[in-house]
């Protein structure tokens, strides 16, 4: 289990969890803020998103980066390329495979 994202609030944490799930990465949210108690929460308490399988860590970090760059799922899914080394689908802005390190050929 590894932390991949610190969210500003519960909604953002849930969005990230859903986003990761859309790419077949299981995650959980820890430290969800209690609704209605915002004013009493210490400033350093934010919900965090953790992946369940450590093997997903590198991929999850890249997805988090996509998310923070403001890419929509459509933009990402419409611009994937397939790694010739391991057959994994890679998001367009990456020139290397996150899984096997293979270079993008085309």
Binding site for Zn ion (CB under 5 A): 83, 85-86, 88, 97, 99-100, 102
Is the Cβ of residue 50 or residue 94 nearer to Zn ion in the bound state?
Answer: 94
Write down the least CB distance from residue 56 to Zn ion, Å: 15
Strand order across the beta sheet in which 27-30 lies: 2-6, 48-51, 27-30
Query: What residue spans of 1-106 are helical by DSSP H?
Result: 10-22, 57-68, 73-77
User: Taking a C-beta distance cutoff of 8 angstroms, is the pair 90, 79 a contact?
Assistant: no
Judged by CB, which is closer to Zn ion: 8, or 84?
Answer: 84
* CA 74 from centre of chain: 15
Q: How far is the CB of 90 from Zn ion (least distance, A)?
A: 7
What is the smallest separation between the CB atom of 99 and Zn ion, expressed in angstroms?
5
| 45: CB partners within 8 A, 6+ apart | 31, 33
User: Looking at beta carbons only, is 32 or 88 nearer to Zn ion?
Assistant: 88
**45 versus 96: smaller Cβ distance to Zn ion:** 96
Q: Closest approach of Cβ 76 to Zn ion, in Å?
A: 17
Tokens encoding 44: 């350093």
């Amino acid at each position: 289990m590894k932390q991949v994202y610190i969210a500003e609030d519960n909604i953002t944490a849930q969005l990230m969890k859903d986003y990761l799930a859309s790419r077949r990465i299981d995650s959980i949210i820890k430290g969800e803020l209690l609704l209605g108690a915002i004013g009493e929460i210490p400033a350093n308490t934010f919900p965090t998103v953790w992946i369940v399988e450590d093997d997903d860590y590198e991929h999850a970090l890249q997805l988090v980066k996509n998310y923070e760059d403001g890419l929509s799922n459509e933009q990402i899914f419409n611009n994937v390329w397939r790694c010739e080394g391991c057959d994994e689908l890679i998001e367009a802005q990456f020139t290397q495979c996150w899984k096997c390190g293979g270079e993008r050929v085309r």
